Amino acid sequence: MHPSGGEAWKYFNNMHPQFSVESRNMHLGLCTNIFNPFGSCVVPYSCLLVILTVYNLLPKMCVRPEFMFLSTISYSVLTVRAGI
């Protein structure tokens, strides 16, 4: 199933009908990934990537790199996982 056809988007469209009627409005998704840039869990540095994904596209286009936008890279001296 395409992400924009999921239950969360259906609920959003029902709650905001004026937004869903306009075809130029975009459905966006935030994807996050935490990784250790040095490849060792002993080093206390980690990065949090935030990627913005456009869901108004065809399913095969949503996951292509040219339609994903890296919006934030957050570095932390402490491990990010400890605070989640």
Q: Is the model more confident about 53 or about 83?
A: 53
Percentage of residues in the chain having pLDDT higher than 90: 2
Q: How far apart are CA 75 and CA 77, in angstroms?
A: 7
How many Å from the N-terminal Cα to the C-terminal Cα in the chain?
29
Q: Count the Cβ atoms, other than its own, within 10 Å of residue 47.
A: 14
Q: How far apart are CA 41 and CA 37, in angstroms?
A: 10
Coil, strand or helix: which one is 45? Answer: coil
| Identity of the residue numbered 32 | T
Q: How far apart are CA 15 and CA 61, in angstroms?
A: 27
At 64-84, the pLDDT tens digits run: 888 888 877 777 665 545 544
